[in-house]
Structure 1
């Protein structure tokens, strides 16, 4: 029998749990059902995870990492940002994110299910808080990159911009999962891009912008604290 490396076992179990949760909900994701989904013996689970809770925490991390890859290329198709305005940059980034949602709706359903489960289960609220802290860090990094590459400055603190962006993507994701209406999603992204672009100004006018100092401080904070790769919804 071929020996499977521990890292590969962990990945297979996490992916099996993700499929189960998307299909049947968190309650269905027992250790026995997870190993059955992964086609592994129960001993494999306990060999790589100390508990189901540890798997759940890793599952959130893995799903956020995947969503982060969808958000990373904010200026997809806008190489170097030459001649590209913030509105176009944000719209391109939202489209890239949405393409990831459409490509893997089960991941999004599982993440929504996990969030609700963590909020309901006593003692598990930190998992939901950690999930959204990662979303906000990813969005802040994306916003900082967009400003730099388009020669713009945010007129609001970047952590506030990140929260607005996550709120937009949350609504976009949930609405599309319910309706599967691509045209409505495109309209939502257009409005979001317009709204976010209105919160910026050319970097040349930064010295005349009242919020410039707070924006600079926020960008410095993001560079120290945000994870350089994440987003969602």
Structure 2
């Protein structure tokens, strides 16, 4: 059997943890299940991550990284309303395509709340910071107050969170795609009123 480099093995284990958490929840995400999902010996998992909490911390880092990628990929370099709309559309599309990430995120946030961990907060804070920096750049040349940028970031976050919970609850892709359009319409209406 060929030796797998440690960095690749860690990456495989983090991806496996996301899939297992999405399928079985945090409580069902045993190290044995995660190792099996990654097609790795259990000892390798314990070598790469001394504790399950360290593995979960790496999962939170991966989630923050993916959010950052989705947000920056949807920076359309337009005005603030166009950019906010593109970010929200990018998030809803990503959730539809990446239900494992969405499920794992919801599971981990609930787990972090119960265990008083602050990793969930770091994912949200990082996403909010990236989103607001994109919106600030989009607002340059426009008369948009910094608190309005924060409000837009909050509204986009709240709408995308509500969307993902609904999508995961009903698992009806066609319905969720239609609801994504409604969510975008809500943002458009709010932005029109706020930026008028």
Which has the bigger relative contact order, CA under 8 A and spacing at least 6? 1
Residue 90 of structure 1 deviates from its aligned partner by: 2.3
1:175 aligns with 2:170: no
Residue deviations 1:144-191 (CA, integer Å, cap 9, x gap): 23223xx42423523343223211211122223334321122011121
SS at match of 2:89: helix
The verdict on how the C-alpha distance between 1:142 and 1:177 changes in structure 2, with shifts beyond 3 A counting, is: farther
Say how many residue pairs are matched.
191
Residue 44 of structure 1 deviates from its aligned partner by: 0.8
1:120 aligns with 2:97: no
SS at match of 2:73: coil
Distance in structure 2 (CA, Å) of the matches to 1:94 and 1:140: 13
1:155 aligns with 2:149: no
The runs of 5 or more residues in structure 2 that have no matched partner are none
CA RMSD of aligned residues (A): 2.0
- Does the aligned pair in 2 maintain the 1:25–1:110 contact within 8 Å? yes
Rg larger in structure: 1
The residue number in structure 2 matching 1:19 is: 19
Distance in structure 1 (CA, Å) of the matches to 2:51 and 2:120: 18
Distance in structure 1 (CA, Å) of the matches to 2:108 and 2:143: 35
The residue number in structure 2 matching 1:142 is: 134
The verdict on how the C-alpha distance between 1:51 and 1:135 changes in structure 2, with shifts beyond 3 A counting, is: same
- State the TM-score, normalized to the length of structure 2: 0.87
Q: Decide which moves more: 136-145 or 46-55.
A: 136-145
Residue deviations 1:18-37 (CA, integer Å, cap 9, x gap): 10111111111111211111
Distance in structure 1 (CA, Å) of the matches to 2:15 and 2:113: 22
The verdict on how the C-alpha distance between 1:107 and 1:54 changes in structure 2, with shifts beyond 3 A counting, is: same
The runs of 5 or more residues in structure 1 that have no matched partner are 202-233
- State the TM-score, normalized to the length of structure 1: 0.74
